[in-house]
């Protein structure tokens, strides 16, 4: 069980993940912005959390929804990613979808979206689903390590393996292989 599982989705979840992202990514030269407040989650129409440097933007879309409830998330994730690219035309843009567990239909939708971007010749504009446990493992390792270890470029390599996004366990294995 992840530390994120029991957090209130409106007042704690995005805020805690944003703090963890800042502790992990800031020392690696990235800036972090949570688009919500200390007492509310990000409003619709904007990514929940944005992490960027001079070359890359990674948005994080965070939810506690499970199963079929996740179906409605994919359209807004795609819209946010495309808007992020439009606002950052000289940067590579990616999105991480974070949830307690990723529903099969959500993984299929993400994989189809990523395949379409690849068929268009795009190396970025990909979505990576991460369950709470895998995100926590990744961020803890970055937080606890020297900034020279575990560069974010290794994490971005996971997006290239979108055809292997089958379930949360296999995605965790990809993170372990590419990053650690």
112 three-class SS: helix
- The answer to whether residue 71 scores a pLDDT higher than 90 is no
Q: Distances from the Cα of 149 to the Cαs of 28, 32, 180, in angstroms?
A: 9, 19, 9
Helices of type H across the chain: 13-25, 73-87, 104-119, 132-144, 152-158, 168-179
Give per-residue pLDDT as tens, 112-126.
999 999 999 999 999
Instruction: Identify the band that residue 93 occupies on the pLDDT scale cut at 50, 70 and 90.
Output: very high
In the beta sheet, which residues pair with residue 52?
A: 31, 57
Task: Determine the 3-state secondary structure of 146 from DSSP.
Answer: coil
């Amino acid at each position: 069980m992840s530390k994120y599982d029991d957090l209130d989705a409106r007042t704690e979840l995005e805020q805690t993940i944003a703090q963890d992202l800042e502790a992990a990514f800031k020392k690696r030269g990235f800036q972090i912005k949570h688009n919500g407040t200390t007492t509310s989650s990000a409003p619709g129409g904007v990514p929940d959390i944005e992490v960027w440097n001079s070359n890359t933007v990674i948005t994080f879309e965070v939810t506690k929804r499970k199963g079929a409830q996740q179906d409605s998330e994919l359209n807004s994730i795609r819209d946010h990613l495309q808007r992020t690219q439009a606002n950052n035309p000289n940067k590579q843009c990616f999105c991480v979808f974070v949830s307690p567990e990723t529903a099969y239909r959500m993984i299929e939708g993400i994989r189809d979206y990523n395949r379409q971007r690849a068929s268009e010749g795009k190396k970025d504009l990909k979505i990576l689903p991460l369950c709470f446990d895998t995100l926590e493992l990744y961020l803890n390792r970055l937080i606890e390590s020297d900034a020279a270890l575990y560069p974010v470029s290794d994490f971005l390599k996971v997006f290239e393996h979108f055809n292997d996004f089958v379930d949360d366990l296999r995605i965790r294995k990809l993170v372990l292989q590419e990053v650690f």
